[in-house]
C-alpha cells in the first residue's frame, strides 16, 4: 500500500480497535519501514488522545438533557417563529444556538478543576482552551454574519 493509502486508513478508523486485523498488520509493517508515516501516525494519535481525553471533558451530568429539553420545548411552542427562514435559522434561532454554545463551552471548561489543571499544565492547557473558544466564537460569528448578510447590508445601507 502507498503512504497516502496507509494514512487514509489510519484516519478512517481513527486508529481504533475496530480496524480489521489484516489491515492493522499491513499498516504496522509499513510503519516499521517508513519513518515518515510512523511520525505522521504518532502525531495523529497524540492529537486524537488530546481531543478525546483532555480537550473537551464531558459536560456536567444532566446538562445535555436540560438543554435538549429546552430546545425541544422551544421548538414545540414556536417552531415556525424560531426556524422561519427555509434552510437557515432566524435571528432568534441564532441567539438561542449562541447561548447554548456559550453555556456548553463555559460549563465544559469550568466543570474541570480549572485552576489546578491550569497550574499544573500551564500554557499547554490554556492554549487549546483559548483556541477552542476562539474558533467556536469566530465560526459562529462568521456563520451568523454570512447568513444575515442581506439583513446587515439593508440595515447599514452597505
**Of 10, 27, 37, 89, which lies in the binding site for Zn ion, with binding defined by CB under 5 A?**
37
Distances 59 to 52, 97, 151 between C-alpha atoms, Å: 13, 17, 35
Up-side HSE of residue 34: CA atoms within 13 Å toward CB? 18
- Residues that bind Zn ion (rule: CB under 5 A) add up to a total of 3
CA 107/CA 103 separation, integer angstroms: 6
| Closer residue to Zn ion (CB): 34 or 102 | 34
Distances 91 to 38, 48, 137 between C-alpha atoms, Å: 48, 35, 16
CB of 76 to Zn ion, least distance (A): 53
The three cell numbers of residue 154 are 439593508
CB of 35 to Zn ion, least distance (A): 8
| Binding of Zn ion by 38 (CB under 5 A) | no
Tell me the window of 32-40, 53-61, 90-98, 140-148 that interacts with Zn ion (CB under 5 A): 32-40
Would you state the torsion angle of the CA atoms of residues 69, 72, 74, 76, taken in this order, to the nearest 10 degrees? -140
CB of 39 to Zn ion, least distance (A): 10
**Of 1, 19, 34, 112, which lies in the binding site for Zn ion, with binding defined by CB under 5 A?**
34
CB of 13 to Zn ion, least distance (A): 17
Cβ pair 59, 107 in contact under 8 A: yes
List contacts with Zn ion (CB under 5 A): 3, 34, 37
Amino acid at each position: 500500500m502507498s503512504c497516502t493509502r496507509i494514512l487514509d486508513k489510519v484516519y478512517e478508523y481513527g486508529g481504533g480497535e475496530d480496524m480489521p486485523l489484516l489491515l492493522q498488520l499491513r499498516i504496522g509493517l509499513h510503519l516499521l519501514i517508513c519513518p515518515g508515516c510512523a511520525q505522521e501516525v504518532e502525531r495523529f494519535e497524540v492529537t486524537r488522545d488530546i481531543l478525546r481525553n483532555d480537550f473537551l471533558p464531558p459536560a456536567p451530568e444532566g446538562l445535555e438533557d436540560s438543554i435538549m429539553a429546552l430546545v425541544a420545548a422551544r421548538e414545540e411552542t414556536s417552531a415556525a417563529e424560531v426556524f422561519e427562514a427555509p434552510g437557515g435559522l432566524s435571528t432568534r434561532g441564532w441567539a438561542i444556538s449562541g447561548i447554548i454554545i456559550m453555556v456548553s463551552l463555559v460549563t465544559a471548561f469550568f466543570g474541570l478543576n480549572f485552576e489546578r489543571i491550569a497550574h499544573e499544565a500551564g500554557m499547554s492547557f490554556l492554549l487549546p482552551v483559548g483556541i477552542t473558544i476562539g474558533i467556536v466564537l469566530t465560526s459562529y460569528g462568521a456563520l451568523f454574519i454570512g447568513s444575515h448578510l442581506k439583513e446587515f447590508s439593508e440595515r447599514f445601507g452597505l
